[in-house]
Amino acid sequence: MVEAPRIYVAGHRGMVGSALVRALKAQGQADIVTRTRAELDLTDQAAVRAFFSREKPDQVYLAAARVGGIHANNTFPAEFIYQNLMIAANVIDAAFQAGVKRLIFVASSCMYPRLAEQPMREEALLTGALEPTNEPYSIAKIAGLKLCSTYNRQYGESHGVDFRCITPSNLYGPGDNYNPDTSHVIPALIRRLHEAKLRNTPAVAIWGSGKAMREFLHVDDMASAGLFVMDLDKAVYAQQVPPTLGHINVGYGGDISIANVARAISDIVGFKGELVYDSTKPDGAPRKLVDSSRIKNIGWKPLVSLQRGLELAYQDFLEHNS
């Protein structure tokens, strides 16, 4: 009988990490290791190494990150690059030092060039300039991806290291951050439109022109993809993701304008007022749609439609934030 793996989920209280924990429990995994930020500061190299030496996990899901929307990225660029660089470097190296063979690093589609050809294939990485509004965060995520691929390159044969990276499109869903100053577009719109409805506000201003296109993936679909990639046979994964790439896209398969997603949320929330777009504020990248053909070719597909996902996200907001 094969012994169940000991699994460490870094960032288990965040939207991504909590979705991974839910998926692991649904899969029947019982030996899941977690630590809060107060219990383990992932930017502290010595503390992270001591944790790995003591707990000895077999698998790692690296979902911990400093995240936020355009406003947060513009306001705290130094914190975004420093904290995310430190988290990636400390956890990936400590995992290697502790003998971990399999690790999943959760990256971000913002790593791709601002004007990358759409949909964005994995090969587009590092072929052009990044979106300036989130460049520090993007660079840290690229560094994490490259840490995984270079550890594989140097220690794959000698130590059996097999560190993998998934690159999801824009995520939303249960456990999202609804803080108006630091949230991404969907949770920000849910909160603002809900509060506008309660106040009978006649109009709500939305950052940007509304024309920017985004692909949104429900976080539970991302979690299912994470477990899928973790459990893939090495030969199957290597066939789809050669060492020169080092990561695999995970997306819903279609995109939508910010204006249309705002209208959809407005309908779900029940806001009857006008949506006004402030073109003096940044749009970010004009379009972000990932090519997910590689992961879909080997059997994974998303299950949560955008409409259903937005309804579930609003329910989550009402349960935890209203």
pLDDT tens-digit profile of 16-33? 999 999 999 999 998 999
Please say if the pLDDT value at position 194 is more than 70.
Answer: yes
Q: Where are the domains of the chain?
A: 7-173+215-251+288-304
239-275 pLDDT tens trace: 999 888 999 999 999 999 999 999 999 999 999 999 9
> For 228-245, what is the mean pLDDT?
93
Integer Cα distance of 118 and 171 in angstroms: 18
Integer Cα distance of 288 and 211 in angstroms: 12
Please say if the pLDDT value at position 130 is more than 70.
Answer: yes
- The pTM score is 0.93
Among the four given CATH numbers 3.40.50.720, 3.40.50.620, 2.60.40.1180, 3.40.190.10, the one describing domain 7-173+215-251+288-304: 3.40.50.720
Beta strands (DSSP E) in the chain are: 7-10, 32-33, 59-62, 102-106, 162-168, 170-172, 203-207, 213-214, 216-218, 248-250, 256-257, 274-278, 287-288
- Residues carrying an active site annotation: 137
Question: Tokens 């904290």 map to which residue?
Answer: 83
